[in-house]
Amino acid sequence: MQNKLSPGKLLDENGNLNEAGYATSLIKEYKRSDIKAHKSR
């Protein structure tokens, strides 16, 4: 069964998804600076 997403940040402090699932609108907050990967990636 799928999980319906709740409003909040898309990524946690480690750069991983906070929650997996689906949404019927854009409810997650995305900030490129939250991604914890090397710039060349």
What pLDDT score was predicted for residue 37?
76
What pLDDT score was predicted for residue 11?
93
What pLDDT score was predicted for residue 36?
80
What pLDDT score was predicted for residue 23?
95
Q: Is 3:20 a contact under the CB 8 Å cutoff? A: yes
| Spatial separation of the C-alpha atoms in residues 11 and 16, rounded to whole Å | 5
What pLDDT score was predicted for residue 40?
76
What pLDDT score was predicted for residue 41?
62
| Spatial separation of the C-alpha atoms in residues 41 and 24, rounded to whole Å | 30
Residue by residue, pLDDT tens for the chain (41 residues) are 789 999 999 999 888 999 999 999 999 999 988 888 777 76
